[in-house]
Chains A and B, each alone.
Chain A
Amino acid sequence: MNREDDLVKLARQLRWQLGENFHDKLVEGIYADAHQIVRDAVQRQESGATPLDIKIDRIVTSKRFGFPIMFALLALVLWLTVVGANYPSAWLHELLIGKLYPLLHAAAGRLHLSPGLAGMLIDGMYLSTAWVISVMLPPMAIFFPLFTLLEDLGYLPRVAFNLDRVFRGVGAHGKQALTMTMGFGCNAAGVIATRIIDSPRERLIAIITNNFSLCNGRWPLQILLATIFIGALVPAQWSGLAAMAAVVGIAMLGIAFMFLSSWLLSRTALRGEVSSFHLELPPYRPPRIWKTIYTSLMDRTLIVLWRAIIFAAPAGILIWVVSNIQIHGVPLAARITDALDPIGWWMGLNGIILLAYIIAIPANELVIPAILMLTVLIHHHTAGVTLFEPGQTTQVATLLRQNGWTLLTAVNLMLFSLLHNPCSTTIYTIYKETGSVKWTAMAVLLPLLLGILITVLIAFFWRL
C-alpha cells in the first residue's frame, strides 16, 4: 500500500532534519513535564535524618554483614521448618496410616471387595496419597509462609544485590539471584521468571541452572532424610540443629553448583559479555502477617499439595500394579529394581531409589512415597495384611534401615535429589521458554550427569 510508504518517507525526511538526538530530547521533555507536575502537586517534609530503610540497607547489603545475614535467615527458616514439621508430620502419619489405613482395610473386607481391587485402591492409591500428605504438608505449611513473609518484607532484591557481584564474576546476570530464589519455590516458576533478564545469553544460563535451586518438591525429602539419618548421628537435643545444618548445606551446595555451571557455560557454550542493569531496592514493607500466612497457605501450600496428590494417586496405583504383576513368580517391580540394583550400587543408592526417580519424573514430590511403597510392596509382599503397626512414628526410619539403607544411601540420595533432571513440568516450561530442543536437553542432562558423577565418586571413596 502506498500511504504507509508516504508516512515512512516523511518520517525519514523529518528525522534527517532533526538530527540524531530526538530520543534524548523526547525523554528530556517527559522528565521535565513530570518534574513540573510533581513540583506543583507533591509536598515533602524533609526530616533531615537518614530514613530507616536506608539505615537497614546499609547493614543487610554491607560487605561484612550481607552474607552472614543471608545464611542466618535461611538457616532460621529451615530450622523452624525442620523442628516445627516434626510433630504435625507424626500426627498425620499416625492418623492417616496408623488409624485410617487399617480401618479402610477392614471396611474393604466387610464390603467383600476383591483383594486385588482393595490392594490397588488402599495399598496403592490411598497409601501413596497419605504419605505425600503426611510427609509434605507440614514442612510446606511452615516453609512457604516464612518465605513469603521475607518476600513481602522486600528482602529478595537485597539478596540479588548481595549476590550480584558473584553472578557477575561467573559471567551471569545479577537478576539471576531473583530467578534462583523463585526456583526455591518451584523451578518452573523460576524458569518463567527469567524473562526479567534481557540478554538472551544470560537468560539461557539462568534457565539451564535454575534446577540447582532445591524446589518445594524436594525440600521435604531433604528434611525427612536429614532428620532420620543425619539428626540421628548426634545426641537427641542437637538432632534438629544437625538436620537443619545438613539441609542448609545441600541448599548451599546447590547454589555453589549453580555458580560453577554458570561459570562453565559462560566460558564455553554461552560465551559473551556480562550486561549491566539497574535494580530497584524497594522500600521495606511491614508484611501483613496473618494475611500473608493465610494466602500462602491457601495458594502455594494447597496448590502444590494438590498437584502432588493428583500425581501421587495414579502413581500409587501404578506402583501397586507393577509390584503385583508376577512374572515367573517374581513381581515385575522386583525384576526392574533388581536390574537397576548394580547401577544403584555404583551410585551408593539402590534399584528401588532409581525406579522411584523414574516414576517421579512428573513430580519430585513422588520420590519419597514411591521409595516407601516399592520397599514395602517388594520386600514385605504379603497382600491384604496390614503393613503398619499403629502408634509407631519412627516406622519410616526402621523400614529403611531394615532394607539396607546406610548413611551413605541417605547422603547420596540427598545429593541426587539436588542433582538430577528437572520434573516434566519444568522441562516443558524450559522448552516453551527457549524454543530449543538443544538447550532443553542441556538443562536436563547437565544436572543429571553431574548427579551421577558426584554420587558415584562419593560412593567409591566412601567404600575405600
Chain B
Amino acid sequence: MTGEPLHTTHDCASCPQATMAHLQKLGVETRGFDFVVALAGNPNTGKSTVFNALTGLKQHTGNWPGKTVTRAEGAFVFKDKKFKIIDLPGTYSLLSTSKDEEVARNFLLFGRPDVTVIVADATRLERNLNLALQILEITDRAVLCVNLMDEARRHGIRVDLRALARRLGVPVVGTSARYLQGIPELLEAIYDVATGKVRCKPHRIQSLPPHIEKAVRTLSQKIEQQFPGLPNSRWIAFRLLEGETGIIEALKNQMSG
C-alpha cells in the first residue's frame, strides 16, 4: 500500500482486506510507540489469541484458565500510528486481592493504558461483564471485544452488539480471533478510541442502594477536588470505602510520577 488512496470509495476503504492492509505486525519491537493498549478480560476468553492476531507473535495459547501469568508485550502499526500492546493475565475481578490477578489490577489502574481492550467470552457474557463494568469505572477509553462469536453462534446465542455498545458507552466489536474474524473492525475501534476520534461515555455502576451512592459521590467529589483530572475518582472511592487506604499512597506516587 504505497500508492495514495486515489479512488477509494467508502465501501472499499472499510472492507476488511483494505483495513488489514493498514496493519503492520511488529512482534516484540516496542520502541517509540504512540499509544499503549492493554488487553484485559476473564481467564480463557482468548486474550492471547487476539494478542497474537495483532502482533504476529506466537504467545503460547491454551484452552485453560490461568495460562498467562506474566504480561506479554508486543507492537503493531496501524495506519499512521504505532501501538504497544500488553497481554495481561486473565482476572475475574479487580476487587479481589489474589496474587495472580495483581499484575492486571495494578496495570489497569496505574499503568494508564491509552486504550483498554476488554476481551469477553460471548458464551459467558453476563459473568464477563462483571469485570468489564469494573474496568469501565477505571478508564473512559475502552473497547469491548466480544470474542468467541463462532462458539456463541454454535450454542444458539445471539449477541446484539449495538445494544451492548449503547448500554456500555464504548465501542463493541464481535470477533472470532482464532479465525481472524472481526480483527479489522477491532483495529479500527482501537485506533478511533486512541486518537480521540471516538469519545467514550462509559457505563457507571447504577444499581447501588441510594445511601451508598450518596457516600460514593461525596467521597469521589472530594477526591476530584484534591486530584483534579483524575478519570477514576469513583473507583478510588470504592476502594477507600472498602478500607483500602493504601490506594491513596499509590495514587500520590502516580500523580507525582
Interface residues of A (CB under 8 A from B): 1, 3-4, 6-8, 10-11, 14-15, 17-18, 22-23, 25-38, 40-47, 51, 148, 151-154, 156-157, 160, 175, 178, 192-193, 195-196, 198, 279-280, 282-285, 288, 295, 298-300
Contact = CB atoms under 8 A, between A and B. Distances in A.
A45 B158 CA distance: 8
A26 B208 contact: yes
Nearest to A1: B252
A37 B129 contact: yes
Q: Which of A1, A11, A32, A175 has the most CB of B within 10 A?
A: A11
A156 B226 contact: no
Interface in B31-77: 43-44, 58, 60-66, 69-70
B124 to A, nearest CB: 9
Interface stretch (B4-12, B110-118, B181-189, B235-243): B235-243
B14 interface: no
A4 B215 contact: no
B133 A34 contact: yes
B168 A37 contact: yes
A198 B98 CA distance: 6
A431 B127 CA distance: 37
25 contacts: A6-B222, A7-B248, A8-B245, A10-B219, A17-B211, A18-B215, A25-B212, A26-B238, A28-B207, A32-B207, A33-B205, A34-B129, A37-B167, A38-B125, A41-B161, A43-B160, A44-B157, A154-B64, A196-B100, A198-B98, A280-B43, A280-B65, A282-B63, A282-B65, A299-B58
B203 interface: yes
A62 to B, nearest CB: 20
B95 A42 contact: no
Interface residues of B, number: 62
A193 B65 CA distance: 11
Interface of B: 43-44, 58, 60-66, 69-70, 95, 98-100, 123, 125-127, 129-130, 132-134, 151, 155-161, 163-164, 167-168, 178, 203, 205-209, 211-212, 215, 218-219, 222-223, 226, 237-238, 240-243, 245, 248-249, 252
A33 B163 contact: no
B64 A198 contact: no
A151 B64 contact: yes
Contacts of A295: 58
B155 A27 contact: no
3 closest residue pairs by CB, A with B: A45-B156, A32-B207, A34-B129
Contact of B178 (A45, A195, A288): A288
B95 A18 contact: no
A288 B226 CA distance: 53
Contacts of B127: 34
B72 to A, nearest CB: 13
Nearest to B215: A14
B133 A157 contact: no
A27 B137 CA distance: 13
Nearest to B66: A196
B74 to A, nearest CB: 15
B64 A282 contact: yes
A43 B95 contact: no
Contacts of A153: 63
B44 A298 contact: no
Contacts of B223: 7
Given A8-B245, A11-B241, A42 B219 contact: no
Nearest to A300: B60
Contact of A15 (B62, B203, B243): B243
B58 A33 contact: no
B159 A42 contact: yes
A14 B223 CA distance: 14
B131 to A, nearest CB: 9
B160 to A, nearest CB: 5
B160 A42 contact: yes
Nearest to A298: B58
Contact of A7 (B70, B167, B209, B222): B222
Contact of A42 (B65, B157, B240): B157
A30 B128 CA distance: 11
Given A22-B212, A26-B242, A45-B156, 12 more contacts: A6-B222, A14-B219, A14-B241, A17-B215, A18-B241, A23-B95, A25-B208, A30-B130, A34-B127, A38-B126, A152-B62, A280-B43
Contacts of B241: 11, 14-15, 18, 22
Contact of A152 (B63, B157, B252): B63
B226 A7 contact: yes
Contacts of A22: 212, 241-242
A40 B167 contact: yes
A157 B98 CA distance: 20
Contacts of A288: 178
Contacts of A6: 222, 226
Contacts of A38: 125-126, 129
A190 to B, nearest CB: 11
B64 A11 contact: no
B99 A282 contact: no
A30 B212 contact: no
B212 A18 contact: yes
A42 B174 CA distance: 13
A310 B211 CA distance: 65
A193 B69 contact: yes
A37 B69 contact: no
Contacts of B69: 192-193, 195-196
Nearest to A159: B64
Contacts of A156: 62-64
B205 to A, nearest CB: 5
Contacts of B133: 30, 33-34
Contacts of A40: 160, 163, 167
Contacts of A25: 208-209, 212
Nearest to B158: A43
A36 B133 CA distance: 12
A227 B203 CA distance: 63
A43 B125 contact: no
Contact of B123 (A1, A33, A283): A283
A36 B207 CA distance: 10
A35 B126 contact: yes
A47 B154 CA distance: 12
Contacts of A196: 66, 69, 100
B87 to A, nearest CB: 15
B245 to A, nearest CB: 5
Contacts of B164: 37, 41
